[in-house]
Chain A
Amino acid sequence: MAVIGSGVLRGMGVTFKTFLETYPWGRLILRTLRIPVTNGLFTIPYPETKQQHPERFRYFPFLVYDGTPDNLRCVACKICEQECPPQCIHIVMEKDEQGRPVKAHGRTLPKQFDIDMSICMSCRICVDVCPFDAIEMDNEYELSASDRYEHMIFDKHKLLKSADYFQKIKPTEAATVDARLAAKKPKA
């Protein structure tokens, strides 16, 4: 027959071992007693240390440009505006006085490109529908602001980020995008 209270003591042993495992000196004691140890603390104290996000982690979209900021891939076709489920994208095409689209680098371009980040739901549909790979998902997530209208509506200048940045944050995805763009390019 088991001794009275042995189950109680065994349970208390488990919690005490966990208690010791969370301290360096406790782990030292356990190691000197030849008891197998794990690192007890799993919490990441957020502002001081940040979690390593997987590459595919996404937050809000941004606009990609090649080389210089005026050479953006977006042609203001408004497909993403049409497809966006929460309707948070607003695009106005750059036009001259006669109402004809202005071209730069052989492409039309948006005069205005706003995304309301407080409405965006990070669904990535805009990225999927873009035929020019002009819009991509960012992984920047520390965007809290005190004013919804001033700070959370991102205009074209705030959204613009270079292709090199995209290359840096998501190397795998950027490689496939680059391969696709290279295949599309007419042979010179």
Chain B
Amino acid sequence: MSSLDQLFVNLSGWLLSFFPAGARPWADIALKIGVLVAIAPAIMMYLTWIERKIIARMQNRFGPDRVGIYGLLQPISDGLKMLIKEDIVPRGADRLLHLAAPILSVVPAILLFAVLPFGRNMIPADLNVGLLYFFAVSSIGSYAIFMGGWASRSKFSILGAMRSVAQIISYEVPAILSVVAVIMVAGTLSTVGIVEAQAERWFFFTPWGVVGGLIFFLSGIAEVNRTPFDMPEAESELVAGFHTEYSGMKFALWYMAEFLESFAVCAFTVTFFLGGWHAPAVPFWTLALLLAVIVGAGTRLAIPVRGAGVLGMLGAAALWGAQPIPSWIWFFAKTYVLIFVLVWLRGTFPRLRIDQLMGLAWKFLLPLGLINILAAGLWAWFPFPVGTAASALALIVSAWLLVRINNPAPLQPRTYVFAD
């Protein structure tokens, strides 16, 4: 275990050594809370930048590039703008709830980070019911959304809030079902325990892990109301949904909650399915050597590209052998890859219709989640080749059946009475 890997753990230990022994637990808690509260807005601000940049590139645009180099100061200028904007509360709104709702939505979003293992030994609070805590806290957000929609006294807000609550309740079910398989195999509810159970094999590299991870990720996207599941704030239909009547810093708080929850969804998908802070079980230098062979043998590539690729891969392998990448870098790298996927989905797909949205949750993800539990059981019960084959077979057949059952008969060509 290198010192770079435990950098932040050692740093906090060093800082705590200044406190008397009796005050150390309290100082520890205060330090962790302070760090989380400090990094959460920073993460959120740069998520907006990342999202705007990636979306812009997918739409042949530059994205923000005026404030600072590559627009890197854009989030700060946006934050300042939000701070100095007028706070408008609609006439007839419930002023207290209108103020409380965005705060109530940000707090659980930050609380989620408490059970997130950022690296080896780097977790703010290693609860033995961490997973339960995650689901309990993340669903508080739906109260906040409904509260905000109701308190605004606006039709758009209340419609958006109602859609949001329906959506969050629907997608909570497949999300929890997909994680049941993880609990079964890992045998613990603690997030640290789940990550440690993936030391040899990430859960994503099992048949039930692929399906479970996809269900969890999709449900997560739906729970944080992001495109393609952004019915609650569908711009073209509801102005801005539940935060139509919000302005200034309250509006910024809604956005902060949404982005922090998006980050949390990606981070928890990494924790539950993609091995958390673990490096790939196959050492990276063997992967690099394999890639070197593949690139070197690839006849589609030009000769200089192959040479450079081989050299680069050999260099990466040597570097890796000398100094393993710290666990927290692995965690953040995987999380940001998932965030890229999140934005990528937003850049690609149009919004689902409300019946399609509910149909996806109740008619496809929910049964698939139930079958996934069975598949995980098969995988865990039988020895390696049999169990994997059995669970893969069960999942493929059931997914195919579900698609067949859910797809209605193809539409007949319509006859137009008056046109003909």
A residues whose Cβ falls under 8 Å from a Cβ of B: 4, 8, 11-12, 14-16, 18-19, 21-23, 32-34, 40-43, 45
Contacts and interface: CB of A to CB of B under 8 A. Distances in A.
A23 B63 CA distance: 13
5 contacts: A4-B400, A15-B347, A19-B344, A32-B301, A33-B301
Contacts of A22: 57, 60
Q: Which of B54, B59, B399 has the most CB of A within 10 A?
A: B59
Contacts of B60: 18, 21-22, 40-43
Interface residues of B, number: 20
B61 A43 contact: yes
B400 to A, nearest CB: 7
Contact of B344 (A12, A21, A32, A42): A12
Contact of A41 (B62, B302, B305, B348): B62
Interface string B57-88: 11111100100000000000000000000000
A177 B347 CA distance: 52
Contact of B57 (A12, A23, A45): A23
Interface in B344-388: 344-345, 347-349
B348 A4 contact: no
B414 interface: no
Contact of B61 (A4, A23, A41): A41
A22 B58 CA distance: 8
Given A16-B344, A32-B302, A43-B61, 11 more contacts: A4-B400, A8-B349, A12-B345, A12-B348, A15-B344, A19-B347, A21-B60, A22-B57, A22-B60, A43-B62, A45-B65
A43 to B, nearest CB: 5
A4 B406 CA distance: 13
B281 to A, nearest CB: 26
B300 interface: yes
A23 B70 CA distance: 13
Contacts of A40: 57, 60
Contacts of A19: 54, 57-58, 344, 347
